[in-house]
Chains A and B, each alone.
Chain A
């Protein structure tokens, strides 16, 4: 302990001029691209500033919050964001666990399958979304053709429930690799003796997985859930090209709502109010992240 403390002191004590030099490029980027816009955005949210109106900027108090945040529309977008987040992560964990277990057996060809499973997270999401919208075309799409083998003919993008299903599926598809790879590493790192002794003691397959392996994986699963929920919550590209928020507003999530306010209606102040509310909503996750970082 004592040597550790001395070491820490020594490690930190030298050349603080160098430290400033080292952190300066990053700090400048963060101040200009993160801190400055955050403060400006908060200011905008309290004014009537707009990109198309030439009226002088006026302070309007909380009016934008009243008209944009405490509304059914905002609640609906929040619900869409949460549904995408919850269902994509749940299904990723279920599928990811089974796939990771198989990959962790290190059968012949595992390395090839890992390469294939990695693909979705590397390919351009917006292009993937465009190709899926072709495949989901109700007249000539490949999905219509595949459905014909099982006697179905669903036009996924035409009704709100199935459109949400399609959006969730694409979020699932795009980020499954991350879940699989991290779970696989977690499974490979588990102490083999415990699993072996449990199975010698007569634990069946269900007991082995539910009572032994999954509890030991809990920290890994927690990291996956935290990282994935942040990303699923901010989903944008795919919604933009696949549904544009439709049908109606059925797939408008919070980022898309803010985008539309700012760049379809050019209402900076209202979009800023939505943005500030989004920051408030992610605050709990922010504190979890801060707790997790040790520097």
Chain B
């Protein structure tokens, strides 16, 4: 079976079939983005035989509100990534290598975030955020998203820390190195791939986030994911424009993935199988 001709052919057939199911919506989005609204609404849809236009992309690029939304999306993604790395890295090290009061509470809270739907936290958070005047601010989204992504990031990094043999640290201690020296000179370089993995997942996750900003923003801190939902409430949806806006969300991730692929696969496995 393994090497038989039929096995190979049916294997490729399956992989090609599933690839079509996966690529079709993405292809449909990118091609519709290059169509005028009239052409996007022809039936049957023209998949390849249409005249591409950059009209939608130009319109969005010149649209102030869309430009602001893109800026917010980038800001939230970048600052969330920074905060998650700053909070999760030392936390993961302390959880796997140190003993201290409060450790149990951290594990209980981290795990709770993992299993609870975020809406459970967002209902009371909305009231608190409004009360403290933090509504519709980038910082609010950054703080909330960081806490929501923290568990995933922490467990990935715990798996990475645990894969570093303790003997390495021990030897350095014996040679008289301090804990901070050990962390800086031994743990930090070995942990870099883990930190990269966490940063990549956080960047993509924050960029794609919808629930937190749809609740926590109104105008000043509205990212692209919330911006595009205006199209569902409009009676006459401009197909081309909507697809172009969605493409603005997809393309950075697609480009980014090309170089980040090995970290993404590795991170998934560290987070589920090893951890």
Chain A residues within CB distance 8 Å of chain B = 7, 10-16, 18-23, 25-27, 29-38, 40-41, 44, 49, 51, 95, 98-99, 102-103, 105, 107, 109, 113-120, 122-128, 130-135, 139-140, 142, 144-145, 148, 173, 176, 178, 181-182, 185-186, 205, 220, 223-224, 227, 230, 233-234, 236-237, 240-241, 244, 254-255, 258-259, 262-263, 268, 271-272, 275-276, 278-279, 282, 285-286, 289-290, 293, 295
Contact = CB atoms under 8 A, between A and B. Distances in A.
Contacts, number: 314
Interface in B148-174: 148, 150, 154-155, 158, 166, 170
Interface residues on B, range: 35 or more
A22 B25 contact: no
Contact of A99 (B14, B83, B109, B125): B14
Interface in B68-112: 83, 86-88, 90-91, 93-100, 102-103, 105-112
Contact of B116 (A118, A123, A278): A278
B15 interface: yes
Main secondary structure of the interface of B (DSSP, over half): helix
B128 to A, nearest CB: 6
B249 interface: yes
A131 B246 contact: yes
A285 B110 contact: no
Nearest to A228: B272
Interface of B: 1-2, 8, 11-12, 14-15, 18-19, 21-26, 28-29, 32, 41-45, 83, 86-88, 90-91, 93-100, 102-103, 105-128, 130, 143-144, 146-148, 150, 154-155, 158, 166, 170, 179-180, 204, 207-208, 210-211, 214-215, 225, 228-229, 231-232, 237, 239, 242-243, 245-246, 249-250, 253-254, 257, 261, 264-265, 268-269, 272-273
Nearest to A142: B45
Contact of B98 (A16, A254, A255): A16
A33 B148 contact: yes
B105 to A, nearest CB: 8
A118 B265 contact: yes
Contacts of B114: 230, 289
